[in-house]
Structure 1
C-alpha cells in the first residue's frame, strides 16, 4: 500500500490575506473561474437599473477589481477596506475612490450609497452579528437605492466541501426572513448565480480547494483536515471524465431595494 507523504499528512494551511500563499491561491482561483465575468455582468444590470447613480459604497472592497468595475457607473466611489495589504491593491485599482480603513462596525461613510455592495464579507462576521451588520449597511443605503449582499450558496459543491471539513454553514435565507419582518416596506429578491472553477491539474485544484475551505472557523479547529484528505475529496467529488477538475461555487445575491423616502 502506498504510504502517505509528508505533504499528505500536513494540515491544510490557514491562508492569511496578506501572505504570498493566499495571493497565489487566489490568483489560481481567478484564472480558472467564470465568477468575475458572470458576476460583473449581473452587477452591471443592477447598477444600470438604479434611479440615481451618484455614490457607490463598497463595504469590504478587497483588492478593488469589482469596485473598479462598478465605479464606472457612479459619480463617486467610497470603499471600506480594513486590510492594509488589500488597500494597497485597492488604491491602484481605484485611485479616485475615497478609502476608509476602519472595520465595518467602526466605519462612518460620509454619504449614503445608491448601491451598497457587501460581497463575501459575512464569512468573517459572527452569525449573530449578521443582522445588525446588514441593518447598518441598509442605513447607509440611499432611499430608492440597492443594498447587495453576496455570499456562497450553502448547497454549492464548494460550501458542501467547506462544511464537510470545518462544519461551517452559511445561509442568507434566515437573514432575508428577518429583514422582511423588520423592514417590510423594502423590496427583496434572492438570486443564485451558478459559477464554476475548472483546471486540468490536480495540484492546482487542491490548492484552490484549500483556499475555499479557508473559512474563518478553520483556525479554531482542534485538528485541521490534512492535505491528503483534501486531495482525496477533490479526486472523489470534482474529477471530470476528461481528466480535469471542476468545482462549483454558486453564489447567492440578496438584493434589497430600499423604499423611497
Structure 2
C-alpha cells in the first residue's frame, strides 16, 4: 500500500471522495482490520439459504462488488445499481456476468423483480425524509415472497457515536422499520444487529479509519470541520485497549423485509 503524504494535526479532517486515492487507502485499511466481511457474509448466506427462490439478485449501491460477487454465486442472474463510474469499473471486473445499471436509485429501472434486494450502507447519502419512499421503491423491485435487506450503522455503535460527536449526525433504522410495518402489515419485518469490530496496533491507521468513519455526507456541510488532532485525541481516549492496540466497534443494523407472497 502506497504511503500517504504527511497530514498535520492542525489540518481539518478531510472530506473523502469515494473515487479518490485517499478514500481508497482508508477503505483498504478498514477492510484489512475489520471482521465485517466474514461475519456479514455468513449472516447473508443464511438469509440466501432461506429464500424460496434464488433467481435474481439486485444489489443497489453495489460499490466495488465484493459482496455482490459473494451473493451472486447463489443466483441465476445478478443486477447491480452503481452510479459511480470508478466503482463500476471495479464492479465489472469482479462480477463480469452482472447487468450493471449506472443510474442513481431514484432513476434506476431494474428489468425484473428480484428474490433478494440488497441495500448496504447507502442510506447515509439519502436525505432521511426520503428513506421511506426510497426503500418502498426498492420493495416494489422485490418479488412476492422475496426479501429486501437494508444495512446501516447501529445508532449506538462506537463508530456512530464518534460520527455524532463530530458532526451531530446519527442514523437510525428503527423509525423506518416502524413506518414500513405500518405501510405493509402483511410483510414479515425484523431488525437485528451484527456486532463488528475494527482492530489495529497502529494509532495513525486507527485515525485514518476513524476519519473514514466520520465521513458522513453532512461532514462537507460543516462550517468548521474537526481537526486531525481532535480526532486523534478522541481515538486515544475511546478506542485504546490495555495492550496498546486500538479497537473501534461498528455494530450494524440489518433490516429484513420479507415481502408477502400474495402481494
The yes-or-no answer on 1:76 pairing with 2:77 is yes
Q: Distance in 2 between matches of 1:206 and 1:174?
A: 31
Give the TM-score normalised by the residue count of structure 1. 0.98
After superposition, residues 56-75 of structure 1 pair within 5 angstroms as: 56-75=57-76
Q: 1:86 matched to which residue of 2?
A: 87
Q: 2:208 matched to which residue of 1?
A: 207
The yes-or-no answer on 1:161 pairing with 2:162 is yes
Structure 1: 5+ residue runs without aligned partners? none
Q: 1:99 matched to which residue of 2?
A: 100
Q: Distance in 1 between matches of 2:7 and 2:248?
A: 26
After superposition, residues 85-164 of structure 1 pair within 5 angstroms as: 85-164=86-165
Deviations 1:212-241 (A, max 9, x none): 000000000000000000000000000000
3-state SS in 1 of match to 2:230: helix
RMSD: 0.9
Deviations 1:74-126 (A, max 9, x none): 00000000000100110011000000000000000000110000000000000
Question: CA offset at residue 7 of structure 1?
Answer: 1.1
Give the TM-score normalised by the residue count of structure 2. 0.97
Q: 1:22 matched to which residue of 2?
A: 23
Runs of 4+ in 1 over 6 A off after TM superposition: none
The yes-or-no answer on 1:243 pairing with 2:244 is yes
Structure 2: 5+ residue runs without aligned partners? 1-5
What is the number of equivalent residue pairs in this alignment? 257
Q: Distance in 2 between matches of 1:6 and 1:126?
A: 31
Q: Distance in 2 between matches of 1:174 and 1:17?
A: 28
